[in-house]
Amino acid sequence: MINRITQKEIAKHMNVSISTVSKALKDSYEISKDLRHKIQAYAKQNKYFPNPIALNLKNKSSQTIALILPEIIHHFFSSVIKGIEEVIHNNGYNLIISLTQDSLEKEIQNVENLAQKNVDGFILCLSKETQWNNSIAHIQEAIDTGHPVVLFDRVTDLVECDKVISNDYESAIQVTNNLLAEGRRKIGLITTQDFISVGTLRTKGYEDALNKLGIEVDRSRILKVSNVDNSNEEIKEFIDKSEVDAIIGVNETFTAQALMHLRKKGKSVPEDISLVTFSDGLLSTFTSPNLTALDQQGMQMGMASATLLIKRLEAKAKKRQAPLFKTEIIETKWIKRDSTKKQF
């Protein structure tokens, strides 16, 4: 910044010391009312603002929170960002965003780099590679060096910290039950690889719901997409060869791709096959038929994450006892559209 007035200049102009200015500006009782007001008036008139960098150096706090994400081009992540942004700015913090592109190495770099720059804390969604390798040393180190972390969506048990997740397991049970109630018995699942925490939970919910009704889980009805960039091919093949009367997709793209291939095969949705997707977004309302969805409430997840982090930071700033670590569960919202039968 160029041309900003400093305490030094105010001091010079008022013929007092810098310490006096500093105290007057904080309305300290140490300074006579008269002088205090004069200094404040002059400061205001000259648009004085404390230099945040100097405060940062002094306080070792930057009033900045870092958000580290795998990707950004997804409705879910955009919504999360929106929620975080709102809470963070309402509380006077700034938000730094870094992307990992699902690479562990980039995640480590980002965390170390930002910790060095004195961000006050992290909100983080683990990269695929991180979950795959279970390497969380960088997260632990961030915490150990005094940077609180909130994990959301893709989390890990290996780190003790605040977490925000959807009720993925329960939602999967619910979806499966709803499809069973429609009379579906050959329910398929299109999901991600097992190492992704969210996918695993959903798969488990699906399996448990089936088992509970004594229906055997048929592995051939589960597709674990191995290469997300090639999901369309894998899904095509899956649709071609597997016999299903309903499909649960773990995200919109998978589900919409499944829909496309079903239609090409001449199947009608929801007459022949019901379709439900996790993670509601733009897409679901524009396919034909529209997709019944479980909205993950990204914005709420973002807001919850930011709130948890800020509470912890405030406790720290006020030297109050740190709150206990908490895992907040955001309930998914069932959005009934046209890709499932209407009867319930």
Say how many C-beta atoms besides its own lie within 10 A of residue 215's C-beta.
15
d(CA 49, CA 6): 8
Sheet holding 187-191, edge to edge: 222-224, 187-191, 246-249, 274-278, 292-295, 333-335
The residue type at 311? K
d(CA 265, CA 61): 59
Instruction: Please identify, among the stretches 56-64, 128-136, 145-153, 239-247, the one whose residues bind DNA according to the rule CB under 7 A.
Output: 56-64
90 is a contact residue toward a second copy (CB under 8 A)? no
Residue from 42, 50, 94, 156 binding DNA (CB under 7 A) = 50
Q: Which does 117 bind (CB under 5 to 8 A by kind): a second copy, DNA, none?
A: a second copy
Beta strands in the chain (DSSP E): 64-69, 94-99, 121-124, 149-152, 162-166, 187-191, 222-224, 246-249, 274-278, 292-295, 327-330, 333-335
Give the Å distances, CA to CA, from 2 to 6, 51, 250.
Answer: 11, 12, 51
Site string for a second copy, 37-76 (x = CB under 8 A): ------------x-xxxx-xx--x-x-x-------xxxx-
Residue nearer to a second copy on the CB measure, 134 or 288: 288
Q: Which does 29 bind (CB under 5 to 8 A by kind): DNA, a second copy, none?
A: DNA
Residue nearer to DNA on the CB measure, 17 or 90: 17
Looking only at residues 117 through 146 of this chain, which bind a second copy when binding is defined by CB under 8 A? 117-118, 145-146
Which residues, at least 6 apart from 228, have a Cβ–Cβ distance to it below 8 Å? Answer: 192
Site string for a second copy, 285-304 (x = CB under 8 A): -xxx----------------
156 is a contact residue toward DNA (CB under 7 A)? no
CB hemisphere CA count around 323 (13 angstroms): 17
282 DSSP 8-state letter: T
Instruction: Please identify, among the stretches 30-38, 81-89, 316-324, 336-344, the one whose residues bind a second copy according to the rule CB under 8 A.
Output: 81-89
The residue type at 32? S
Instruction: Please identify, among the stretches 52-60, 91-99, 218-226, 262-270, the one whose residues bind DNA according to the rule CB under 7 A.
Output: 52-60
Which residues, at least 6 apart from 261, have a Cβ–Cβ distance to it below 8 Å? Answer: 235, 236, 239, 240
Q: In the bound complex, what is the minimum distance in angstroms from residue 321's beta carbon to a second copy?
A: 18
Instruction: Please identify, among the stretches 10-18, 156-164, 193-201, 251-259, the one whose residues bind DNA according to the rule CB under 7 A.
Output: 10-18
Q: Which does 16 bind (CB under 5 to 8 A by kind): a second copy, DNA, none?
A: DNA
Token pair belonging to 48: 């004085």
Say how many C-beta atoms besides its own lie within 10 A of residue 106's C-beta.
17
Alpha carbon of residue 333 to chain centroid: 17
**What is the size of the binding site for a second copy (CB under 8 A)?**
48
* Binding region for a second copy (CB under 8 A): 1-4, 49, 51-54, 56-57, 60, 62, 64, 72-75, 78-79, 81-82, 85, 89, 94-99, 113-118, 145-147, 253, 256, 260, 263, 282-283, 286-288
* Binding region for DNA (CB under 7 A): 6-8, 15-20, 22-23, 25-26, 29-33, 35-36, 48-51, 53-55, 57-58, 60
